[in-house]
Amino acid sequence: MSLLLGIDTGGTYTDAVLFHEEQGVVASAKSLTTRHDFAIGIGQSIEKVLATAETDPSEIALVSLSTTLATNALVEGQGGHISLIMIGFGETALLRNDLRSAVKEDPVVFLSGGHDGQGEPLADLDEKELKTQLDRLGNEVTAFAVAGLFATRNPEHEIRAREIILERTGASVTCSHELSSKLDGPRRALTSVLNARLISLIHHLIEATEGLFEAHNIAAPLMVVQGDGALISAEIAKIKPIETILSGPAASLVGAAYLSGLQNAVVSDIGGTTTDIAVLQDGNPRLDENGATVGGWRTMVEAVAMYTIGLGGDSEVSVRQSGLDLQLELGPRRFIPVSLLAESYPALVHDTLELQLSRGRGNELYGRFAVAVGQNLSLMGSFSDLEKEMLADLSGGPRPLEKWLAKRKHHIALESLVTKGAVMICGLTPSDAAHVLHLHTDWDRSAAEKAARLFANNKNSKGKSIALSAVDMSKLIIKTLVRKSNETLLAAALEGDRFLSPTLSQTLIAGSVREEPNPFVDVDVKFKLPIVALGASAHVYYPDVAAQLNTTALIPEYAGVANAIGAVVGQVRVSVDASISKTESDYFRLYHSGDPRDFSTLEKAVADAEQTLRDEAKEHARLAGADDIRVKFKREDNTAVIEGKEFFVESLLKATAYGRPRITK
């Protein structure tokens, strides 16, 4: 039996697990994620787990990686500078599916071309205009997204556009028809935009991981976890990084099933940036075939039906005015905890906090610092002169925001740098609150206590402080996180219910936990399923979460490294789709990844489609790294009854190939 290495790079920690196919978990290790250079944190975790297991690295037969990188990038609005090429669409297409918002300020090029619903060309592709626009853009963008009208019916214009872009720029290109076979061009375009924006980030992560193998004498293939919990080769993940959104949460779900032994449960994984909630049904993750939603974007990526919220141990703590009072807010942006920054820069952090405390008043910039992430800046697009100046200043170390943001233009530049992933903000987080309350002990509690005291100085319209002490402030933060976790769990449970809206969750939770009961109505919430709580900080919050929901919380051994475990116990699973519909000339037309094909009968079209899809699925699975491949074929015919007669509408076809990852030893 083989020895497998699972790695997970989360927003805060990078985990590593050595797993034996017969013995289970052999050893585990945890290091801080080093966002400026992922290889450092990955290398530290690999070294720790190998030292703990006292094993020969050459015995490792497979390495599998799960990551929250893509999910966190979308939630936090990070990624490369891209251009969207729209073929056959008008500008109004940008108004659908929040496409305009996803594109941000990146350039969009509209070209004539595209096809109709039967795959026939509407106009020739305007190659001359495409070349002109590419020359105009120059090196302004790092990747391109291409979306053609009805490209899933006929992808020839997307394919030709990609050829021209590659010839003229050499930049990476994402074609929408390769990400989804479904209609809805603007949503395919949205998915392509997000994929293109993630390419440089995931490429950097994979290269950093592979670069460590030789140094550690590991000669094994690298797999990456997809959003549906299945595995794909690293080479495919580089091309289709959007497939890795919810990779970390999907791996945690697979790991939760393995660790808990439960067939039916609600799984909640709290990380540094997000809380991810999903359901285990009959031992398998429940999938969202309509497409995963992350960071507010409804993509066309089939993934685990995951309810994701920007709420984690490292969430930003802020306040907003609500009437005459202050309302505490958590997330969605991730901060570096003050207690963690103080580990590396103790004098700067403590001197700044003490000076600000001595003034005896609140300020929204107090207790906050700007920190250069140190990422490969060439991957992040262009920077303005002011942004370059601010980055140069940060090369000397973190800077207190109070001194650094002198003018409004500096605020705008900082937001841009954060969006591009070049800078992170350090400030008060739930992790700091946990240190104040002695629930965490890893970092500098004194710095956390000072930051909490500073934040407690925030006053409402009546001049009343939000809290009287650092301890009271920290309790309020933890209480808020528990309440928001309960609301999210309840909203996830009510998702899709025809009679109960997920928006009821806030009302129900508020009614069930209020300190003074309502004299007329008792509100009680009871979860029917147990909660499997994962993440390094699960033990801090989830006993209270489960108690308020009147259920049990199972926090299994190795809960803090469930993602890494899920990465190595999964399998490769690849699906390819096609559809058949009738043409105006009464032929049955097969639409798939290639040119449309016509057949005289439905059964002939289905027979050809089945063979084509089986072959494609098997080949895709082989390229994804699978061994001992099995293929399942599914056909679903849709008909309509008109005046008592049944008419054929469409046949939907899918082939799914399964197999365990290819082991080298």
Tokens of 351: 């001197």
Q: What is the DSSP string of 283-296?
A: TEEPEETT--EETT
pLDDT of residue 514: 55
DSSP 227: T
- Three-state DSSP at 96 gives coil
Say if CB 142 and CB 81 are below 8 A apart. Answer: yes
- Among the listed residues 141, 217, 148, 211, the one whose alpha carbon sits nearest the alpha carbon of residue 183: 148
Say if CB 241 and CB 202 are below 8 A apart. Answer: yes
pLDDT of residue 379: 45
- Three-state DSSP at 234 gives helix
- Three-state DSSP at 129 gives helix
pLDDT of residue 109: 95
Q: What contacts 519, CB < 8 A, 6 or more positions away?
A: none
Which phi and psi (to 5°) does residue 165 adopt?
-60, -45
- Among the listed residues 115, 113, 146, 142, the one whose alpha carbon sits nearest the alpha carbon of residue 128: 113
pLDDT of residue 228: 86
Distance, CA of 580 to CA of 588 (rounded, Å) = 6
Residue 359 CB neighbours (<10 A): 11
- Amino acid residing at 531: I
The alpha carbon torsion through 173, 174, 177, 178 (nearest 10 deg) reads 100
Residue 361 CB neighbours (<10 A): 11
C-alpha distance across the termini of the chain, in Å = 9
70-114 pLDDT, tens per residue?
A: 877 787 777 888 999 999 999 999 988 889 988 888 999 999 999
201-253 pLDDT, tens per residue?
A: 888 888 888 889 888 999 999 999 998 889 999 999 988 888 888 888 788 88
Tokens of 126: 């305007």
pLDDT of residue 508: 64
- Among the listed residues 61, 39, 50, 40, the one whose alpha carbon sits nearest the alpha carbon of residue 16: 50
- pLDDT beneath 70, residues of the chain: 1, 323-324, 374-381, 461, 495-522, 664-665
Tokens of 514: 């209020």
Contacts 24+ apart (CB under 8 A), 451-457: 451/338, 451/339, 451/353, 451/367, 451/427, 452/428, 452/477, 453/357, 454/353, 454/356, 454/357, 454/362, 454/366, 454/367, 454/428, 455/317, 455/362, 455/366, 455/367, 455/428, 457/360, 457/361, 457/362, 457/366
Tokens of 225: 């976890």
pLDDT of residue 492: 78
